[in-house]
Every structure is written in structure tokens, then in C-alpha cells.
Amino acid sequence: MDVQEMFEKGVIYSDFLKGADEKSYLKLHEIYNNLHFSEDIKGRIKSIGREINVLIFAETWCPDCVVSVPALVKMAEENKNIKYAILPREGHEDFLEKYRYEGKPRIPTFVFYDENFSELGSFVEIPQKIKIIYEKGYQPDIIVARREYRQGKYYNMIAEEFLKIIRENNPDNIGLGGIPLSEKFKK
């Protein structure tokens, strides 16, 4: 099955929620309702002027999914050019092998594609800044970072990483109203 076929088999957020147990549903609902991006992040999300397709592998019981999936959903609500489809990890393990972190496939995994389903990049499990804290190995910092992340205190950090993937893999810098920067600032 190719990526576009997988995307078509994925579900939207409301259908994803239907698979949640009561505890997970309430936590997802709480995170979603309390998620507010900074004005800078909102502006950058709104400026994306081309179609972005995001394939999300997630489960409702996963605490990292509970935080990051609502962030992408809110981005899609801010800009209709961002489309997403959510799939379970189960049944897609072979596909996820490419996106290993610490030796194994992890969830959530977000794979970003352009309008032609050419891959732009991926986000696996947690933001890079949190991974750096984990790699340093200082247990008190790890505990605080994990707790704050799972409480939803890093929405802007998550959105920032998603935006970086979208922008870095954009050779013409298309996104600011859909106009290449080379044309927008012609002399």
C-alpha cells in the first residue's frame, strides 16, 4: 500500500477519539480545549500557502500522542492547507521501521508530505528539545521535562518543530501566502 492509500484509510480526530477509553478521552479533550498557540505561531501556521499532508500514527492510550495529536489538529483548524489522517501503529509496523527512535518504531509518528505526497520530514514521539534533555541523562531534568510535556506545556514547541519540517523542506520557501520568496521580494 502506498502512502496516499494509507492517507485515505486514515481517520480524522473525531473518529480517532471514538476509540478512546474514558480516561484517555477526557485527557485528550482537556489537552485539546486548553491548547492555545502564541500569536507568532498562529501567524506562521496561517501563512502556509500550499497543501501539506500529514500521516499520523497514534493511539489514544499513549501519553505522548495525547499531547501532540491535538497540536497538529489545531494547526489544521488554523489553516485548511494542512490535512491529516490518523492511523494506528498496529498493522503499520513495517512502514514505521523507517522512523525509529532509540532503536524501535515509536508513537506518535508524524510524517509530513507535500501536495504530491513527497516526504518533507518526520516528528517521532517527542520534540527534539526534550530528546536532548533525555540524552543528557540528568534524572531531575528528565522528570520535570516529561511531566511538563505531558501536561501540555509545550504546544508551541511542538508546533515550532512541525513548522520547521514544513519550511526546511520547501526549496522555494513557498508558504507565505503561497508566493515564493524570490518573487515576493524581487527588486
Q: 183 in a domain, yes or no?
A: no
Q: With CA atoms as reference, report the closest residue to 57 among 115, 113, 16, 27.
A: 16
SS3 content of the chain, % helix, strand, coil (to 5): 50, 15, 35
Report the alpha-carbon distance of residue 70 to residue 150 in Å, rounded: 12
pLDDT per position as a tens digit, 28-76: 999 999 999 999 999 999 999 999 999 999 999 999 999 999 999 999 9
CATH number for position 35: 3.40.30.10
Tracing cell 498562529 back to the chain, one arrives at 42
Q: 39 in a domain, yes or no?
A: yes
Q: 187 in a domain, yes or no?
A: no
Q: 19 in a domain, yes or no?
A: yes
Tell me the pairing of strands 82-87 and 52-57.
parallel
Report the alpha-carbon distance of residue 17 to residue 22 in Å, rounded: 10
Global pTM value = 0.88
Amino acid identity of 175? G
**Helices first, then strands: H and E counts in the chain:** 10, 6
Q: 141 in a domain, yes or no?
A: no
Q: Which domain holds residue 20?
A: 3-126+155-177
Q: 146 in a domain, yes or no?
A: no
- Name the domain count of the chain: 1
Question: Residues 78-84: what's their mean pLDDT?
Answer: 97
Q: Is the dihedral of CA 75, 78, 170, 11 positive or negative?
A: positive
Runs of H (alpha helix) within 35-138: 39-46, 63-78, 93-96, 128-136
| The three grid cell numbers given for residue 27, joined into one nine-digit string | 485527557
Question: Residues 127-138: what's their mean pLDDT?
Answer: 92
Q: 70 in a domain, yes or no?
A: yes
Q: 142 in a domain, yes or no?
A: no
Does the pLDDT value for residue 187 go beyond 90? no
**Of 17-26, 72-81, 98-107, where does mean pLDDT reach its minimum?**
98-107
